């Protein structure tokens, strides 16, 4: 490291004020602006236990006493800072997340801005209203339609295990926990250890006491010695990651504790002939290329395959060629991250498999980037379904009708998530009904696959309601209480 280079030293963790890790390990990242030094605390089971106890105390003394509207206002203030392009922490994130993750800097800048918009006050209130008839049920007992009253309580301590494939995703989980008035401890991924810490710091700028109710810590996943005291202290666990990661963690969480997981999912797109008119097909190809390229297809929302209906102004094969052109155009503006040897080999293997099929006379074609494995479009002349090796690789399947092609997804019911759909209004609900019946949990416009609205049902479930505990105050005790009112004879 040249002594003249700028050096930025940042903690890769956030703990309640008053807790001081004893020692640190440093990790260095070199980028255009100099060197970033991230400090990783040397964690012990004793320190983890101290942190969980402190979080619970801070939560009882402060967060649990706030009303939901007050929490929303504080979150909104923190988020508004992130919408300011000159905000110091935003500029730091935009400078260093591309270095840490390898993702294109302009892509990160645009996607983070879009992502934070979903946490503004009106969006948070909308999110709460989707799940609760009245968000005040988190603050007090509220009358119920069937008589009596009920109140919802979030976990005292919520343990989050984050994945690092999409920058910013941990913020969604932390916001959920804060809205439920839970203390939160999040384990970051080594692939992206920074963004959750920066958000916690921005929250501390708005309300230090609220920020003291959460901790963000990095450690190697599967460390049972470190995780045991956290699991013991937590009332609920939320886990993101591969199915293997999720199941290993699930096996160590007692059945008495709530466990919510978001494992590996597969998304795809469907394009009807009515969307392939001369004035529309290029725009549809451009939007689909963006869906398949954002964050290099690493998120569960990115399409692996697309079904293209015959009968449009361009054939499915021609659409595949158009899509290839748009993938190249997107790559020129926002290049893909550098891959590992293993990732590159996976793309070469799938290219070779379908190139051999084409040579044997089967209805297949492979369109590739000019150099390397920057993007790949694989055309199939008959219906089917293929998972992608990711990193901007997408399969195009020709089909006579979307309704008949929907049968192809039936075997993948348990892992399906988002569908980007482009059809006319006369059959929108019919096609959507088939997709829902076969396992899809979210249907959106092509071009919007990576941008979920507030209040969406993640993997087909409610978000907050999966974590709350309800307490019913029955009508009988209300009536009985009247007998003990000294002012009533």
What is the rounded CA–CA span in Å between residue 235 and residue 257?
6
In which band, very low, low, confident or very high, does the pLDDT at 3 lie, cut at 50, 70 and 90?
very low
pLDDT at 288 > cutoff 80: yes
In which band, very low, low, confident or very high, does the pLDDT at 11 lie, cut at 50, 70 and 90?
very high
> pLDDT digits over 376-395, tens only?
999 999 999 999 999 999 99
pLDDT at 155 > cutoff 90: yes
Domain extents in the chain: 7-264, 266-460
> pLDDT digits over 474-489, tens only?
999 988 988 888 876 6
Burial 228-261 (b: 16+ CB within 10 A, else e): ebbbebbbbbbbbbeeebbeebeeebeeeebbbb
pLDDT at 48: 98
What is the rounded CA–CA span in Å between residue 173 and residue 160?
7
SS3 content of the chain, % helix, strand, coil (to 5): 45, 20, 35
Cβ(12)–Cβ(194) below 8 Å: yes
> pLDDT digits over 457-468, tens only?
999 998 999 999
In which band, very low, low, confident or very high, does the pLDDT at 340 lie, cut at 50, 70 and 90?
very high
pLDDT at 488: 64
Residue 20 has which token pair? 């001081």
* First-to-last C-alpha distance (Å) of the chain: 84
Query: Does the structural domain 266-460 have CATH classification 3.40.309.10?
Result: yes
Question: 7-264: which CATH topology?
Answer: Aldehyde Dehydrogenase; Chain A, domain 1 (3.40.605)
> pLDDT digits over 75-107, tens only?
999 999 999 999 999 999 999 999 999 999 999
User: What's the mean per-residue pLDDT of the chain?
Assistant: 95
């Amino acid at each position: 490291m040249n002594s003249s280079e700028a050096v930025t030293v940042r903690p890769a963790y956030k703990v309640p004020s008053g807790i001081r890790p004893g020692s640190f390990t440093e990790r260095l990242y070199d980028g255009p602006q100099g060197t970033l030094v991230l400090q990783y605390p040397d964690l012990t089971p004793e320190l983890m236990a101290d942190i969980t106890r402190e979080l619970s105390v801070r939560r009882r003394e402060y967060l649990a006493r706030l009303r939901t509207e007050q929490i929303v206002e504080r979150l909104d203030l923190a988020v508004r800072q992130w919408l300011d392009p000159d905000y110091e922490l935003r500029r730091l994130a935009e400078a260093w997340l591309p270095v840490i993750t390898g993702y294109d800097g302009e892509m990160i800048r645009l996607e983070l801005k879009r992502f934070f918009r979903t946490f503004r006050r009106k969006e948070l209130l909308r999110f709460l209203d989707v799940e609760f008839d009245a968000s005040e049920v988190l603050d007090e007992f509220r009358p119920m339609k069937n008589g009596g009253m009920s109140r919802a309580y979030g976990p005292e301590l919520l343990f989050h295990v984050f994945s690092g494939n999409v920058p910013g995703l941990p913020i969604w989980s932390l916001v959920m926990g804060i809205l439920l008035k839970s203390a939160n401890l999040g384990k970051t991924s080594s692939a992206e250890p920074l963004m959750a810490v920066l958000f916690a710091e921005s929250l501390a700028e708005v309300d230090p006491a609220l920020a003291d109710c959460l901790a963000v810590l990095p450690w190697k996943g599967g460390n049972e010695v470190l995780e045991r005291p956290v699991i013991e202290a937590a009332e609920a666990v939320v886990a993101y990651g591969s199915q293997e990661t999720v199941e290993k963690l699930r096996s160590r969480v007692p059945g008495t504790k709530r466990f919510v997981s978001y494992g590996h999912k597969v998304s795809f797109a469907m394009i009807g002939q009515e969307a392939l008119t001369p004035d529309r097909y290029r725009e549809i190809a451009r939007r689909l290329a963006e869906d398949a390229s954002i964050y290099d297809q690493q998120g569960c929302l990115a399409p692996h395959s697309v079904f293209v209906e015959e009968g449009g102004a361009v054939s499915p094969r021609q659409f595949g060629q158009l899509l290839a052109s748009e993938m190249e155009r997107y790559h020129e503006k926002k290049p893909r991250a550098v891959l590992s040897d293993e990732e590159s080999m996976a793309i070469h293997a799938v290219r070779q498999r379908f190139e051999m099929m084409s040579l044997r006379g089967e209805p297949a074609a492979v369109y590739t980037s000019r150099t390397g494995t920057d993007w790949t479009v694989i055309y199939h002349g008959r219906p089917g379904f293929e998972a992608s090796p990711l990193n901007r690789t997408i399969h195009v399947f020709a089909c006579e009708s979307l309704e008949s092609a929907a049968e192809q997804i039936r075997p993948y019911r348990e892992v399906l998530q988002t569908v980007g759909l482009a059809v006319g209004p006369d059959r929108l609900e019919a096609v959507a009904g088939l997709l829902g019946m076969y396992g899809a949990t979210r249907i959106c416009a092509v071009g919007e696959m990576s941008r979920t609205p507030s209040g969406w049902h993640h993997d087909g479930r409610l978000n907050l309601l999966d974590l709350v505990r309800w307490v019913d105050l029955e009508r009988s005790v209300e009536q009985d209480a009247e007998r003990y009112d000294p002012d009533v004879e």
